[in-house]
Amino acid sequence: MRIEERHYAETARDYALRMLKANIISMELEPGMMVSENDLASQMGLSRTPVREALMDLAQYHAVDILPQRGSRISLIDYALVEEARFVRQVLETAILDQVCERATAADISLLRQNVRLQTLSQEPDMGGSLSMMELDDAFHQILFRIAQKENTYRMLGGMTIHFDRVRSLALNVVKDTKIISDHQQLCEAISMRDATKAKELMAKHLTRVKLDEASIREACPQFIKE
């Protein structure tokens, strides 16, 4: 597992949840893998109780399977849940674009463009993975929700998009899909022109890419997919 430092004032349970979720999405904890509360607690420097509670939280989002008398298992990727998350994201992220196009300041647009430049830089071979495309992608969309003054809505999406986010991770690492960078560039231009209609068209296309990558991911990683 990849372990990060605990945030100031972050409870043990919240820290365990954040670390487990991040490692599930990044595929450090692979779909189908059995996990031990003791081992996870040891790696994070925690007692078993917050780890157990975090696993139960993740089970509510079908990211972890709690197996009585056996332990816990990282859930296989369920494409029905991927599609549900994609649907919710498309509804919400196209809906906020009217407000984004109306409210975005020059500084906001500059921040979006800076993010896209970093996305492009992250693909350079000599960067050695020092910039995370997943994190930059997430930050781009979070900026849009902030501009629309809907940050609580963005946080609400966090739990239900775990299956969707794992597919995004696979698309970057297995399919090598970098077309999302071009999507983000075009979204920046539409927002800078205050063209909400164009921005909505681009967002719908952007979030549909997960469907286009499904066949390739199923072929490359059938062991990770729930049938």
Question: pLDDT truncated to tens, each residue of the chain (227 aa)?
Answer: 999 999 999 999 999 999 999 999 999 999 999 999 999 999 999 999 999 999 999 999 999 999 988 889 999 999 999 999 999 999 999 999 999 999 999 999 999 999 999 999 888 777 655 468 889 999 999 999 999 999 999 998 888 899 999 998 888 877 776 788 999 999 999 999 999 999 999 999 999 988 888 998 999 999 999 98
Query: CB–CB of 225/217 below 8 Å?
Result: yes
Domain limits, CATH 1.10.10.10, in the chain: 12-74
Selected from 3.40.50.720, 3.30.420.40, 1.20.1270.360, 1.10.10.10, the CATH number assigned to the domain covering 12-74 reads 1.10.10.10
For the domain 79-224, what is the CATH superfamily, name and number? GntR ligand-binding domain-like (1.20.120.530)
Report CA 118 to chain centroid distance, whole Å: 17
Residue 219: both structure tokens together:
């072929």
Residue among 38, 59, 34 nearest 48 (CA): 38
Residue 148: both structure tokens together:
């629309």
- Looking at residue 128, its pLDDT comes to 55
- Cβ-proximal residues to 192 (8 Å cutoff; 6+ apart), any chain: 104, 109
CA-CA-CA-CA torsion for 157, 162, 166, 172, nearest 10 degrees?
20
- Looking at residue 209, its pLDDT comes to 87
42 conformational bin, left if phi > 0, alpha if psi -120 to 50, beta if neither? alpha
Residue among 55, 143, 41 nearest 100 (CA): 143
> What is the Cα–Cα distance from 174 to 151, expressed in whole angstroms?
31
> What is the Cα–Cα distance from 180 to 201, expressed in whole angstroms?
14
> What is the Cα–Cα distance from 40 to 183, expressed in whole angstroms?
37
Domain limits, CATH 1.20.120.530, in the chain: 79-224
Query: CB–CB of 119/136 below 8 Å?
Result: yes
Report CA 185 to chain centroid distance, whole Å: 19
